[in-house]
Amino acid sequence: MQINLLCSLRNLPEHLFTEKKNEPWGGVDIGALLLLKKNIIPVMAVGDFDSISQEEKEYISEYIELDAHKSEKDDTDLALGVIQSIKAGYTEINIYGATGGRLDHFLGALQILEKPEYKAQNITIKLIDDKNELQYLGKGKHYVKKDLKYRYISLIPVMYPTVLSLSHFKYNLNKEVLRLGSTLTISNELEGDVGEVEVCWGGIILSRSSD
């Protein structure tokens, strides 16, 4: 099952909510309020809700029960949203509105992608905005389908060294050792309809971009 989590409206096309109106949505903190304003009733509303007023909390509560947490907590609101989504049985989680704001929050979102427990459970998590799609790929073979919206593909190591092989790309690799500071795998493109990414050792963030 798939769910979309909304954190904010940053870097998102307006048509997103029209196209995905009938899909399950979860609101992360203010995201729950924003979904209601888009005439979408979320299936969950998670966070400490410190970015909205008491009146707005009461408004959200008219439609859905708040899963409210204290501001002093061990996880970010987004991390709590992902945890709640997995508990509800969702295995594909698309996160919107988590880019373009505070860099520490963005880096925290990347850490969520890398969580080993999620890979072990075959949970797919993506960070998506109007120009980018990010997900974590661990050890093993992965297949990347051509998408005209996302022409450029970068593979960013998150462990060192990472050993990587690429097939059916403009720039292929054969068990290339990527060491700290390397930018070798930034801005590649598919040559065919499907590219093969083999992470022989380590882990990467797969970044797909439109420009």
Question: For 107-148, how does the pLDDT look when each residue is reduced to its tens digit (9 = 90+)?
Answer: 999 999 999 999 889 999 999 999 999 999 999 999 999 998
Q: Are residues 124 and 52 in the same domain?
A: yes
Q: Are residues 63 and 126 in the same domain?
A: yes
Q: Are residues 146 and 118 in the same domain?
A: no
Q: Are residues 143 and 83 in the same domain?
A: no
- Domain endpoint, select from 77, 98, 130: 130
- Domain endpoint, select from 91, 113, 130: 130
- Domain endpoint, select from 103, 130, 157: 130
Residue at 3: amino acid letter: I
Which residue intervals of the chain are DSSP H helices?
15-19, 30-37, 54-61, 77-87, 103-113, 116-120
Q: Are residues 142 and 93 in the same domain?
A: no
Check residue 208 and give its pLDDT: 97
Its pTM surpasses 0.85:
yes
Question: Is residue 71's pLDDT more than 80?
Answer: no
Question: Is cis: bond before 161, omega within 30 of 0?
Answer: yes
* DSSP-derived pairing of the beta strands 173-178 and 162-167: antiparallel
Count: domains in the chain? 2
168-202: pLDDT as tens digits: 999 999 999 999 999 999 999 999 999 999 999 99
15 — pLDDT class (breaks 50, 70, 90): very high
Q: Are residues 167 and 113 in the same domain?
A: no
Q: Are residues 104 and 60 in the same domain?
A: yes
Q: Are residues 21 and 104 in the same domain?
A: yes
Q: Look up the CATH number of the domain holding residue 145.
A: 2.60.120.320
Residue range of the domain that includes 87:
2-130
- Sort 14 into a burial class: Cβ within 10 Å, 0-12 / 13-18 / 19+: exposed
Angle CA 80–204–153, to nearest 5 = 105
CA count, 13 A, side-chain hemisphere, 37: 11
